[in-house]
Structure 1
């Protein structure tokens, strides 16, 4: 049976886990450029782990400039079998208070100008995003939150905005009227690219604020976000300590067959495929391209 390699994309402090054995560090060169930072490899409870700080150590990369394609390619190139995103977000729901977590199950993409696909002219592919996360991995994340004593919601819709500015009050009220649950700046195109790379993906969104719709809280700012982030980071590490043993070293395939989505996604005729693009897809789509 295949071995689990869980990739965790989030803050650089997430791999400060008691009992984690760091085994290697990787500076990966990809056809899409360099990833956000050095990738740390380790082992915990027999599970191989890859940790990548999305914004780089010290948070120096803007949400709009995160090298999403390079990040996913690098993790796939290092053998990742599953991806867990841990990211901060704002809440559109009174009950989803700062300090609570949401296991995201749906997205609305309001980003603009970010490369959102590995494919394009020379090799067109259409993967389904109807169910954008892995149900099996998400269920384990929610169970781990409960086991760690972290208040979490089992599902929620994530509105991905461009940023880096926080939203206007009109936007906040509009997204609430649409039925959105949380808002963040990094969920897309990360989830789309993970799907194209045939990597089961889950997102644990850590709520830091009420955006700006919540009158008693006032407008969101960096100072208010940072007050909550420290506690959220501690809870995220507790969740990981509970999660990793339940995943186990022997990998269980995604119940939705995400590992094979490219079997039915490629539409460009073989004689029309661009060799240069094919070469860039060696890690992401090598399984189907040979």
Structure 2
């Protein structure tokens, strides 16, 4: 594990127009899992290396269920990303989280069903721990930046990940509220699971755009309403990235919470029966855990 920190940011294109971002270049990355959502923008901000990935492609071309999550995370890993800030628009499931609030997520409930959720498979099986699916060390740095910027936020929360692309029914929204979920969205799973398999620190900042459909005192969610708040939040998200970058640069060594060593003791397949084709396909993912000759 290299000591050099590289910050990856996954989100909308409005996040990438940051003052002071230098040496920018759009890079096409090929992965064993196909094409990522778009080219990736690389650059430096006050000396900190950054890599930006438009989750839905520039212009928002790709719906949630058709995102190639494996290619997206693999592409970031190929470019040396060590920590990921995932920025996503969500609906609020609680009165005290109005539009414009940023939630630093610490838990997920994954209700998606149409997505490939692991790099591993037959011939090379692995089971990573996901009890704590985000990096709290990275979350602490994010919280510091949100406080410095005076952005309304909540430090912890549960993100309910639905399949989409349709929004919830009233009954579904009330069910998720009864489960204690804070926000609802369509994109952060299996993104977080794959980041853990790739041994990358991962944290989510969920930007509330609406109250979902449960709140009878507010108009039911519409795309127009969501877009207005997303545009308003974009400037805050850019400021967050700019504030977070130097905090990432000061990180010393590998993650103390184990994100960078998540595959230790996770690979179950005995060496004698590991599929060479799978080892080759996953070389970038398993290199640290199994060695360069794996």
Check conservation: 2:3, 2:254, Cα contact below 8 A: no
| Residue aligning to 1:136 | 137
Structure 2: 5+ residue stretches without partners: none
| Residue aligning to 1:259 | 260
In 2, Cα distance between equivalents of 1:23 and 1:211:
37
Q: 1:53-132, aligned counterparts within 5 Å?
A: 53-132=54-133
Check conservation: 1:47, 1:249, Cα contact below 8 A: no
Question: In the alignment, is residue 10 of structure 1 matched against residue 11 of structure 2?
Answer: yes
Deviation track 1:202-235 (CA, whole Å, cap 9, x = no partner) reads 0000000000000011311101101111111111
| Residue aligning to 1:216 | 217
Deviation (angstroms), 1:249: 5.5
In 1, Cα distance between equivalents of 2:81 and 2:182:
29
Judging changes above 3 Å, is the alpha-carbon distance between structure 1 residues 270 and 287 closer, same or farther for their aligned structure 2 residues?
A: same
Aligned pair count reads: 290
Q: 1:1-290, aligned counterparts within 5 Å?
A: 2-248=3-249, 251-290=252-291
**What RMSD over aligned residues (CA atoms) do the two structures have, in Å?**
1.1
In 2, Cα distance between equivalents of 1:214 and 1:255:
41
Deviation (angstroms), 1:56: 0.1
Other structure's SS at 1:267 match = coil
Check conservation: 1:39, 1:51, Cα contact below 8 A: yes
In 1, Cα distance between equivalents of 2:78 and 2:130:
23
In 1, Cα distance between equivalents of 2:275 and 2:34:
20
In 2, Cα distance between equivalents of 1:112 and 1:161:
9
Judging changes above 3 Å, is the alpha-carbon distance between structure 1 residues 70 and 269 closer, same or farther for their aligned structure 2 residues?
A: same
Check conservation: 1:262, 1:288, Cα contact below 8 A: yes
TM-score (norm 1): 0.97
In 2, Cα distance between equivalents of 1:137 and 1:37:
25
